[in-house]
Structure formats: structure tokens, C-alpha cells
Structure 1
Amino acid sequence: MNKKFGFWSIVLLTINGIIGTGIFLSPAGVVKVAGTYTPLVYILAGLFAIILAITFASAAKYISKNGSGYAYSKAAFGNEVGYYVGITRFAAGSIAWGVMATAVVRTTLGIFGGPDAQTQGNITLGFLILMGILLAIVFSGSYITKIASNISTIGKITALLVAVFAGLAIFLKTGQNNFMSINQAVDTAGELIVKPMDASIFVGAILAAFYAYTGFESVASAASEMEEPEKNLPKAIPLAIGIVALIYVSVVSIAMIINPEGILNSTEPVILASAFLNPLIKNIIIYGAVISMFGINIAAAFSTPRIFEAMADEGQLPIFLSKKTKQGVPLFAFLVTASMAIAVPMAFQYNMRGIMIISSVSRFIQFLVVPMAVIMFYYDKNKEPKIETAQKMFFTDVVIPILAFVTSAFLLYKFSWADQFSMVNDNGETVVNTYAICAMIIGYVILPIGVYIPYKMGLYKEKKVVSSSNRSVS
């Protein structure tokens, strides 16, 4: 029951952690901005993601411990940097899990019950049921989690491939190519939906598409549950990103060819399904969307608690958080993570737009620190032990991380801060987004300080856990 993730299971887990709600629920968001440039936008965003993925994969060959960005940052720069990266990533991961769980419940209620079913009570009930199912799956051990993850990944890929091949069949049968008509699509008021393109709009579209690729950075958080992570992760993560990019570009392109206005003017819970008129195809895509969202919740439930476990193993959090069940599940770390994932959406009444900024910005922290960590590993400047037998490559360990750092800095500079800290109220007025401000303060100030002070006071029992593959000191 504790059989570890092999190479292809790691590939599927990575795909599962990336493909979630975006490609099913909101392809119109990028299409409205980029128009006919949408496929190119997804290709460029995928290239950005691959650069970052190779960087994380390079870090994984030097450090095979749990924690992903936390483990890499701590090994390269020491306790303080690692601590901050770890605790903010944990907060972001927990809240992101809550956001994804809320998305599953809302979409499911919208599909089977309509808009009237999305009441606070129904959402809360559905939310708790979903979290209970996820807890049961993960507590069954790595083997059951792996099976559930693999099945959900195959299910979502199948649904997307059905969309691609069905759309291709429709195009070949009708001979109609509506791809260019996207620029003439109008809304209910008769206004053009896609505005004229300029450089800033194009960059904004790439940024929007880039977020559809995030999730790969959390895969290595559970490295101890994988077979030979130092060998398999560097190969599995880039391969998974490439597969996802191919699927994204194919799905968006074929939908724009057969029915772009159906996507742009859709009012259905699963927007991608609006490109098709055939009920069977629509249902396959709709159920695939539900499977996809459920699968990404499994990935979050599996990976996120391992961050706290890794920090507890290193003596930076209370030691009880590293305690595992017979199935290898970090019991208390999981319960703390699940509690935050449940409590935060409920506290904010499931209005998640304001606090999603934590999930977004925390990725940039990792995307800036981890590339520099890889360079430190390459030049043997790390503060803590790394795998000495790791094969060094200047291109993947220096050149690519530099590109990753520059790309991340550019994305952070272009991040829409104004949009995140403002929102439109029920009266149509733009007001300060207090949800986002509270989320930033809690996630980046209160939580890190609150758990760091006891650590500096020596109240946490240190438990240095180093795998046999990591014992060689540089």
C-alpha cells in the first residue's frame, strides 16, 4: 500500500497538478485579450514554464528531500531564507487548495443544480464532503493516492483529447474555419469583444496564460514518496510541461476554429463545452472538468502537507508535525493543512478573488530564489549538504536558471498589482480589496512571524533528517 511513485506516475502527478480548472472554465479570458494570437500566447507561456520547470528539475537532482522550494532554498542559503520560502509557500498552498475545492463544489452545483443551488449552505456542505473524500484518499497511503491521481489525470486528458479530435472531425466535415472571425465577435451591446492588440496587451495575455501552467513547482514537495527522485524528477517535470503545453494549444486552437463566439459568450459552468453543440461531446467535457478539478485537489492534498513535514524534520516547526501514520502520511501536518484549506474559504464566505493573490505572489518568491539556489549548487556554494554524485551541466544549472530568474523578475514587474488590490462592488464601483490586503498581511507577515519566534527561542525540538543519498557534504 506504500508503493512509491515511479517515473510515469510522477509525470502524471505533475500533469494532474497543472491541469485544473483554467483550461475548462476560463479559456475565454485569454481569448478575449489575445484574439487570434491566443495559440502563440499559450506557446510562449509554455516556454516560460518549461524554463522554470527545468530549473526546479535541476534543483531536484542536487536535493532529493521533501519540501521542493523550501528544501532547495534552505540548502543553498540557510535557515532564514528557507524558512520564509517554506512558510509562505505552505500558506499559499493551503489557501490554493481551499480555492480549488471551492471551485469543484461551485462547478458541480452549477452543473447539476443550476445557479440557484449555489447557496452558502449547499457550498459549505459540499465543501466538507469533498474534503472528507480527499482526506480518506490521502490517508489510505501513497499507493491509493497514486492510483486516484493517475485515474483523474487520465480522465482529464481523455476529455481534452475528445475535445480536440471531435473539433477536428467537425472542421474536416464542415470545412468551416471560424478562427479569424474571433476579431469580429461582439458582445450583447454590439461592442467588439477582442480589442486591438498592442505590446502591453500581448504581454498581459502571456502572463494570464502562464498561470495555467503553474503547479509543477509543488510536485517535488513529496520527493520522499518517489522512486529515485534525483533521477526521475529532472526528466519527469519538463516532459509533463511539454505534454500540457501541447494539450493547451491544441484545445484552444480547435475551439477557436469551430466556434469562437460560443466560448466568448458562454454562460455555462464549463465554458469549453460551449464550443460544441453535440450533447455527448459536451457531457464528456463537462464531466472531464469535474474530474480535472477533483484530481488537482488530490495533488494539492498530497503535496502541500509535505512542506510542513519537511520543516518539522529540519527542526523549524514542532516535531509532532513530522509524525507519520503506518501508510506514510504526515498525520498532523495534513490535519493542519486541511484545517486551513477549510477555514479560510469559509471565513471569506467563499469569495476567493481577494485572497488568491497569496497563491500567485508566493510562486514568484520561489521562482526568484530557486534559480539562484541551483547556481549555488553548481558552484558548490551551498550552506547545507547536497548530493555530490549529481551530474553538473552548465546549460541547465547556470544558463537556464539565469533565464528563469530574469523571466520571473519580468513577470513580477508586470504583475497586475492594481487589479489585485481593488475590486468592483455590487454597485459597479471600484473599491479597495480588503480581502487581498488581509490575505497578504496574514500570509506574509503574521503567520511567518508567529511561527518563527518560537523557533528562534529554541522551543522546537530539532530533528535533522537526512536521507542516505544526501549525506555527502560539499
Structure 2
Amino acid sequence: MKEKSQKLGFWSIVLLTINAVIGTGIFLSPGSVAKQVGSIAPEIYFCAALFAACLAVTFASASRYVVKSGAAYAYTEAAFGENAGLYVGATRFVAASIAWGVMATGVVKTALQILRLDTSKISNVTLGFLCLMVILLIINFCGMRVFRFVSNLSTVGKLGALVLTVVAGLFLILTTGVNRLAEVELLTNDAGEKLIPALTTGGFVTAVISAFYAFTGFESVASGSGDMENPEKNLPRALPLAIGIIALIYCGIVFVAMRIDPVSLVTSKDVVVLAAVFPNPLLKGLIVGGALVSMFGINVAASFLTPRVLEAMASDGLVPPIFAKRTESGVPIYAFLLTVALAIIIPMAFRYDMRGIMIISSISRFVQFVLVPLAVITFYYGKNRGEVIPNPKRNFVLDVPFSLLSLGLTVFLLAKFKWAAQFSLQVDGKTVPNYYAIVAMFIGYVVLPVGVYLYRARKKA
């Protein structure tokens, strides 16, 4: 009974999902999305929310069959065997490291902006990055009490800043009748050309993926299913509900921002672009402060969780055991250092461009979004190669049509995505390949998984 009371119940899972998803994305992405599609930015976030909801239902369906911790890694292994699970496990670590890199870049640039230092100077951002990682390592050494305090403070900060933004925005709209939505379509660049490009299928897809970054994180919630009450029952209900609440908050924020001052949202150089929408200095400061607390808190969480993905793989014998070694204070120090290296290298390869690394962070998760729907269909028809719970509760509508819809949307987005644009740079007016970014992704998605396979094969031999 005592063990059950220590586990997460339904509403705790809902709150955990909200905390896992709401981080840097909504503070950083609206300007990028508005710059790509102009006045239809709110509709883009709605489309991203629908995509996230479909995937959340699919992940929730998978949790009815497999309650083992590990989320996509556990589902893929149960459906398709050890080799497929191994690749998802390795690439999931890379995706988590990239996500941490995005969050770290956001908090560093925000701090530099507050200190009135140049955020476009790579040396400033790199130095700030290293300082942040040292601070995070110290917090980890301090133990769980400090971690819980910072995590709780982060939750209060992020929700406070977001609710304040929506309430202040609605108050301005209702009292002044302001609606400047159309102004964003009139913006021009230095050459007199329209700043907002004509909408194409590729542009629409890229914008949806940019907005989708703000919804990522739900796919990792089931990693802790072993610490939840009745995960096969509570997860399928909690994930879609949490995504619905988050979508309501996000769409409200983008709605008010695009009506109050969409021009500032597109043209502002501020890292926390939401603050640029409001002219009131006090309100602007509160939004930036709340965003900084939120981003720092979620970096603390990432510094705790992400190295433990690698540590778990080491404990399972998939990578060298040195990555499972902990300090006396319980920090997996070697896993931490390798994760930090990846979290720095990827953003550096993209020259700390927030839009670029946010998109790559979203794309890096799509391996899971292809395999998990296929896994659910496999579970439903009993064709799995690994273990699932006895007598699982099958649901044809959720398990098959929803999984096919999730898979179809994922494949469509991948097919229409502008790959070349994300791996190129503008140098002296010419488009050239970004070899640093290409090599970094090749290492993360080819070299590292192959290394894991070879290590496991050698151990077996």
C-alpha cells in the first residue's frame, strides 16, 4: 500500500506531462513561425496541436500493451525485437541531447540579452553555454532536494508567465479593440520585397514542424511508467488530456500576440519574442523573467534526465559500463560529460540559430513517431516479437486507424520537409552546405548507433 501511495496517480501524470512539454518552445518559436507564414500563425499552431494529439493518442495506446519504462525504446523492442529497440534507444539519447542543447541555447541567449551582451557573437554564447553546464553539474551534485526546488520553481515561473501573457493580451484586445493581424503581411525587407514568403506546401510543413517543437516532450512521459499507478489505464487518458490543455494555452498566446503586435513578433531580435509584443516595461520584464526561470528549470530537469538515458543503456550492457558509473552524490558523471558534449556540438554546428536547432530537435524525434504507430498496430494484431502485458485491453479505433493517421501525418511531414534548407548556410549571398551540421547529425544517427551495435556484438561474442 505504501509503495502504491508513492507512485504517480492520474492527475500527477497530467501535471507531469504539462511540465515536460511546456518549456522553451512557446517562448521562442512564435516569431519564427509568424515569419514563415504571417497571419495564419495561430492556425499553424492548431495544426501542430492536432498532430501532437494524434501522436499522444498513439503513445497512449502503446502504453496499454507495454508498461515497462523506456517509452519508445520499450515499445519498439517489444514489437520488433532487440535490434530495432537498440537503434531507437541510441537515437533517443541523441534526440534528448539535441533538445537539451536547444533549451540551453535559449537560457544562455536570454541571460546574455538581460546582461546587454551580444547574443549573435558565437564566443559569447559558447562561454555562456560552458558556464551554464558547470552550474547544472553543481546543482546535480547538490542532490534531489535542490533539484525538486528548482523544478517546482520552474513550473510556477512558466505557468505564471504564460497565464499572464494570455490574460494581459485578452485585456488589451477587449478594452482597445486592437487587431493588427493584417500588418504582418505588409512587411518588406531592405530590397522592398515582401518579408513573408508566399505559402507553399514545403513552407507550411516547415512552419508546422517549427510550431510542433513547442509540443514535444510528451513522448518521454511514459519513460517513467514504472513509477505510475496503473499506467496501462492512466497514461492513455492523461496524455491526450494534457495535450489538450497545453494546446488551449498555446493557441491563446499566439492568438493575442498576433492581434496586438505581429510586426514585433516577426522583427524583434529578442530571444523571448513574446515580450516584444507588449510595450509595458513591467509586463515585458515579468514575461522575460518568467521565461528565464522556466528555461533554467527545464535545463535542470534535462541535466538530470538526459544523462540517465545513456546510464540506462550502460546498465543494460548496450554501451561501455563506465557510463553507468556514479559519483558518491549519485551523479552519472561520464554520462553527464558525454551528454554535455552532444548538447553543445549540435547547436554549435548550427551556429546557435534558434530556428534551425528547434526544427532539427523536432525532426530528430521522428524515428520514434514512425516506429511507435507501427508497434501499436503490431500489438493489436498480436504479431509482436517481445513481451506485452497479459490480456491487454485492445481498442480497434485507437490502435489501428489512429496509428495509421499518426504514421501518415509523420511520413507526409518528412516527405514535404525542406531538408536542404536546414543543412545549408548563406555565405556572401551564396547558399553552401553546412558540413558541420551534416557531420554532427551523421555521427548522431549513424556512427553512434553503429558503435552501439558493434559493442553489443563484441560482448555477445
Question: What is the correspondence of 1:220-231 to structure 2 with a 5 Å cutoff?
Answer: 220-231=222-233
Q: Secondary structure at the match of 1:31?
A: helix
Q: For the residues of structure 2 that align with 1:116 and 1:363, how far apart are their CA atoms?
A: 28
Q: For the residues of structure 2 that align with 1:449 and 1:200, how far apart are their CA atoms?
A: 32
Task: Give the corresponding residue for 2:345.
Answer: 344
The one-letter code of the counterpart of 1:260 is P
Quote how far apart the aligned CAs of 1:144 are: 5.5
2:89 matches 1:86: yes
Q: For the residues of structure 1 that align with 2:152 and 2:449, how far apart are their CA atoms?
A: 34
Q: For the residues of structure 2 that align with 1:45 and 1:161, how far apart are their CA atoms?
A: 20
Evaluate the alpha carbon distance shift between residue 137 and residue 207 of structure 1 in structure 2; reply closer, same or farther with a 3 A threshold: same
Quote how far apart the aligned CAs of 1:264 are: 2.2
Q: Secondary structure at the match of 1:317?
A: coil
Moved more, 159-168 or 94-103: 94-103
Q: Secondary structure at the match of 2:268?
A: coil
Task: Give the corresponding residue for 1:244.
Answer: 246
CA contact (8 A) 1:171 1:177 kept: yes
2:48 matches 1:19: no
Task: Give the corresponding residue for 2:441.
Answer: 440
The one-letter code of the counterpart of 2:48 is A
Moved more, 85-94 or 185-194: 185-194
The one-letter code of the counterpart of 1:362 is S
Quote how far apart the aligned CAs of 1:114 are: 3.0
Task: Give the corresponding residue for 1:401.
Answer: 403
Task: Give the corresponding residue for 1:192.
Answer: 194
Task: Give the corresponding residue for 2:75.
Answer: 72
Quote how far apart the aligned CAs of 1:15 are: 2.6
Q: For the residues of structure 1 that align with 2:285 and 2:72, how far apart are their CA atoms?
A: 38
2:300 matches 1:298: yes
The one-letter code of the counterpart of 1:430 is T
Moved more, 195-204 or 174-183: 195-204
Task: Give the corresponding residue for 1:466.
Answer: none
Task: Give the corresponding residue for 1:469.
Answer: none
Task: Give the corresponding residue for 1:331.
Answer: 332
CA contact (8 A) 2:350 2:357 kept: no
Can you give the 5+ residue segments of structure 1 that lack an aligned partner in the other structure?
461-474
Evaluate the alpha carbon distance shift between residue 7 and residue 318 of structure 1 in structure 2; reply closer, same or farther with a 3 A threshold: farther
Moved more, 246-255 or 389-398: 389-398
Q: For the residues of structure 2 that align with 1:186 and 1:339, how far apart are their CA atoms?
A: 40
Task: Give the corresponding residue for 2:289.
Answer: 287
CA contact (8 A) 2:347 2:353 kept: no
CA contact (8 A) 2:210 2:362 kept: no
Quote how far apart the aligned CAs of 1:80 are: 0.7
Number of aligned positions between the proteins: 456
Task: Find the partner of 1:175 among 171, 174, 177.
Answer: 177
Question: What is the correspondence of 1:265-284 to structure 2 with a 5 Å cutoff?
Answer: 265-284=267-286
Q: For the residues of structure 2 that align with 1:260 and 1:206, how far apart are their CA atoms?
A: 18
Task: Give the corresponding residue for 1:29.
Answer: 32
CA contact (8 A) 1:76 1:376 kept: yes
Moved more, 443-452 or 125-134: 125-134
2:39 matches 1:39: no
The one-letter code of the counterpart of 2:448 is L
Evaluate the alpha carbon distance shift between residue 338 and residue 20 of structure 1 in structure 2; reply closer, same or farther with a 3 A threshold: same
Q: Secondary structure at the match of 1:248?
A: helix
Quote how far apart the aligned CAs of 1:355 are: 6.9
CA contact (8 A) 2:141 2:331 kept: no
Question: What is the correspondence of 1:300-319 to structure 2 with a 5 Å cutoff?
Answer: 300-319=302-321
Q: For the residues of structure 1 that align with 2:349 and 2:205, how far apart are their CA atoms?
A: 31
The one-letter code of the counterpart of 2:454 is I
Evaluate the alpha carbon distance shift between residue 301 and residue 240 of structure 1 in structure 2; reply closer, same or farther with a 3 A threshold: farther
Quote how far apart the aligned CAs of 1:376 are: 1.6
CA contact (8 A) 2:7 2:228 kept: yes
CA contact (8 A) 1:76 1:383 kept: yes
Task: Give the corresponding residue for 2:365.
Answer: 363
RMSD: 3.1
CA contact (8 A) 2:346 2:437 kept: no
Task: Give the corresponding residue for 2:420.
Answer: 418
Evaluate the alpha carbon distance shift between residue 316 and residue 201 of structure 1 in structure 2; reply closer, same or farther with a 3 A threshold: closer
Q: For the residues of structure 2 that align with 1:16 and 1:375, how far apart are their CA atoms?
A: 29
Q: For the residues of structure 2 that align with 1:53 and 1:333, how far apart are their CA atoms?
A: 33
CA contact (8 A) 1:95 1:340 kept: no
Moved more, 23-32 or 369-378: 23-32
1:126-177: CA deviations, max 9, x gaps?
A: 3234224434555666676455334312321221111111111112222222
Task: Give the corresponding residue for 1:458.
Answer: 459
The one-letter code of the counterpart of 1:244 is I
Q: Secondary structure at the match of 1:423?
A: strand
Task: Give the corresponding residue for 2:115.
Answer: 112
TM-score, normalised to structure 1, is 0.85
Moved more, 271-280 or 180-189: 180-189
Moved more, 96-105 or 434-443: 96-105
The one-letter code of the counterpart of 2:332 is L
Evaluate the alpha carbon distance shift between residue 430 and residue 253 of structure 1 in structure 2; reply closer, same or farther with a 3 A threshold: same
1:174-227: CA deviations, max 9, x gaps?
A: 222222333334445554333444555444433332232222212223333444
Q: For the residues of structure 2 that align with 1:438 and 1:356, how far apart are their CA atoms?
A: 18
Can you give the 5+ residue segments of structure 2 that lack an aligned partner in the other structure?
none
Task: Give the corresponding residue for 2:266.
Answer: 264
Task: Give the corresponding residue for 1:99.
Answer: 102
Moved more, 247-256 or 133-142: 133-142
TM-score, normalised to structure 2, is 0.88
Question: What is the correspondence of 1:40-55 to structure 2 with a 5 Å cutoff?
Answer: 40-55=43-58
Evaluate the alpha carbon distance shift between residue 196 and residue 423 of structure 1 in structure 2; reply closer, same or farther with a 3 A threshold: closer
1:407-463: CA deviations, max 9, x gaps?
A: 1111110121111221112x2321111022101221122111222112112269xxx
Q: For the residues of structure 1 that align with 2:138 and 2:272, how far apart are their CA atoms?
A: 27
